[in-house]
Amino acid sequence: MKTLDLHLQSKSLDYQILIGKDLLSQNKHFTPVIQGQQVFIVSNKTVAPLYLETLQASLKGYECSVFLLEDGEQHKSFASYQHILDAMLDAGLRRNATLIALGGGVVGDMAGFAAATYQRGIRFLQIPTTLLSQVDSSVGGKTAVNHPKGKNLIGAFHQPSRVITDINTLTTLPDREFKAGIAEIVKAAILYDVTFFEWLETNVSKILSHDEEILVTMIERSCAIKAEIVSLDEKETGVRAWLNLGHTFGHAIERSLGYGELLHGEAVAVGIAMAAEYAVKMFGLPSEDSVRIVRLIESFGLPINIQSEQYHINATILAEAMTLDKKNVDADLTLVLPKSIGEVTIKHSVKVQDVERFLVGYLD
Ligand code: NAD
Ligand code: MG
């Protein structure tokens, strides 16, 4: 097992991420961070049949209630959020109760938001069960629900008291979801850590065959990178934006194709490949770096392009969708682009027309 210590600006919010095998079945990982007697578990109807029993067995002796959400991003809604709060009130949870989120990013974000707001905030533990939630949403303290006007528009920062990442949960995760999580890991390596990028290149087949030691190392390093960047940004350096590498292209792809067509990680994979090629064309990224980036993405079985005909989209539609990105400051685009492997730069005032011209040549 590896333990990653997260140090936040307010020391009282420091917490640990435990990463290893069979953690869910060991009560010693839970008891130090559970307050009071009341525990409220939020999961969903896909994950609960797989892992709830094991978790509950580790929580013997506590007064445990459970609430199960329907599965799916469409249920990351106000209605579900209210159902969680209703169930918390029905269970008579007091302020010293502990909420445990068991599931992927959807469960984690929504349960986290319920924990952030129930009686102005109660203790919260995360058990992320998708690779994406293990390396991404469990670090940084963001919780949210979607609004009809957009994703994650309503939320709060609420740090968990501990994250318990049991890699056994990845054995049941659909392969496509596993690979989608890898896209965010590749992103972290490109933007911050060339050594980790090289490590990924060396370990593709072990990662794809779920070598346990390799998975633990990979998850730990990714979380550490995100944690470092997030903590730098507590000092308001603006580097948190680096985490958007591949996301301006990626979000535009998700929006243009219709949400759900590609998984977020798949759209990000294409977005990273596009960002790398664009950086070669416009900002002098050495083309051998882009070749390596694209090759690594492909070696994980992730996409690097989209079939524009199949989806009835073109460069104009995609470039237009990019202008809607929240991170833009004016009519031009703000893009995070690789400068070399292990380093990114933020480019403001990128002309939409330039990106469109690039996409004409890039799209399949
Ligand atoms: P998800 O939670 O929808 O999980 C994907 C699918 O896998 C679901 O069907 C789920 O039921 C299933 N599943 C989960 N664990 C499983 C397991 N161990 N075995 C079998 N099936 C399992 O999706 P996700 O990719 O984990 O998370 C996406 C969400 O995370 C989005 O809503 C996004 O906004 C959010 N997110 C938040 C942050 C943050 O900083 N808070 C960061 C990134 C993403
Ligand atoms: Mg993302």
DSSP 84-146: HHHHHHHTT--TT-EEEEEESHHHHHHHHHHHHHGGG--EEEEEE-SHHIIIIITSS-EEEEE
Distances (CA, A) of 17 to 58, 158, 223, 233, 292: 18, 15, 9, 20, 31
What does the block give as tokens for 346? Answer: 């933020």
CB of 134 closer than 6 angstroms to any ligand 1 atom: no
Task: Note the pTM of the prediction, 2 decimals.
Answer: 0.97
Check pocket membership of 142 for ligand 1, CB cut-off 6 A.
yes
Give the closest ligand to the alpha carbon of residue 254. 2
The pLDDT of residue 308 is 85
The structure tokens listed for 104 are: 């992927």
Low-confidence ranges of the chain (pLDDT < 50): none
Q: By three-state DSSP, how is residue 22 classified?
A: coil
Ligand nearest to the CA of 181: 1
Which of 173, 177, 223, 264 maximizes ligand 1 atoms within 8 Å of its Cβ, making it the mutation to test the pocket? 177
Q: What is the mean pLDDT of the chain?
A: 96
Is 136's C-beta closer than 6 angstroms to any atom of ligand 1?
yes
d(CA 356, CA 6): 41
CB distance 76 to ligand 1 below 6 Å: yes
Two tokens at 128?
């992320």
Atom of ligand 1 nearest to the CA of 152: 34
Residue 53 corresponds to which tokens in the numbers above? 């029993």
Distance 183 CA to ligand 2 centre (A): 9
Residue 330 is predicted with a pLDDT of 78
State the pLDDT at residue 331: 82
Q: How far is CA 332 from CA 3, 131, 320, in A?
A: 42, 34, 11
Joined together, the tokens standing for residue 259 give 């949400």
Q: Where does 120-234 have alpha helices with state H?
A: 131-132, 175-192, 194-202, 204-208, 212-234
Q: Measured between alpha carbons, how far is residue 298 from residues 201, 291, 302, 363 in Å?
A: 11, 11, 5, 16
| CA 316 / ligand 2 centre spacing (Å) | 23
pLDDT of residue 227: 94
Catalytic residues: 120, 142, 184, 226, 236, 240, 244, 247, 251, 264
Look at residues 66, 73, 69 and name the one whose alpha carbon lies nearest to residue 99: 66
Nearest atom in ligand 1 to the alpha carbon of residue 51 is 18
Look at residue 19 in the predicted model and tell me its pLDDT: 98
* ipTM summary value: 0.99
The answer to whether the CB of 256 is under 6 A from ligand 1 is no
Beta bridge partners of 350: 333
In which element (H, E) is residue 79 found?
A: helix 78-90
> Cα dist. 178→49, 206, 209, 256, 360 in Å?
19, 14, 11, 24, 31
Ligand 1: does its nearest atom lie under 6 Å from the Cβ of 163?
no
Predicted local distance difference test score (pLDDT) of residue 85: 98
- Judge whether 1 and 25 are in contact, CB under 8 Å: no
Strands across the sheet containing 98-103: 2-6, 15-20, 162-166, 123-128, 98-103, 38-44, 63-69
Nearest CA to ligand 1 atom 2: 104
In this structure, what DSSP letter does residue 61 have?
T
> Which atom of ligand 1 lies nearest, measured to the CA of 133?
26
Q: Is 132 in the pocket of ligand 1 (CB under 6 A)?
A: yes
* Amino acid identity for residue 13 in this structure: L
Q: Which ligand is nearest to the CA of 131?
A: 1
Q: What is the predicted pLDDT for the residue at 156?
A: 97
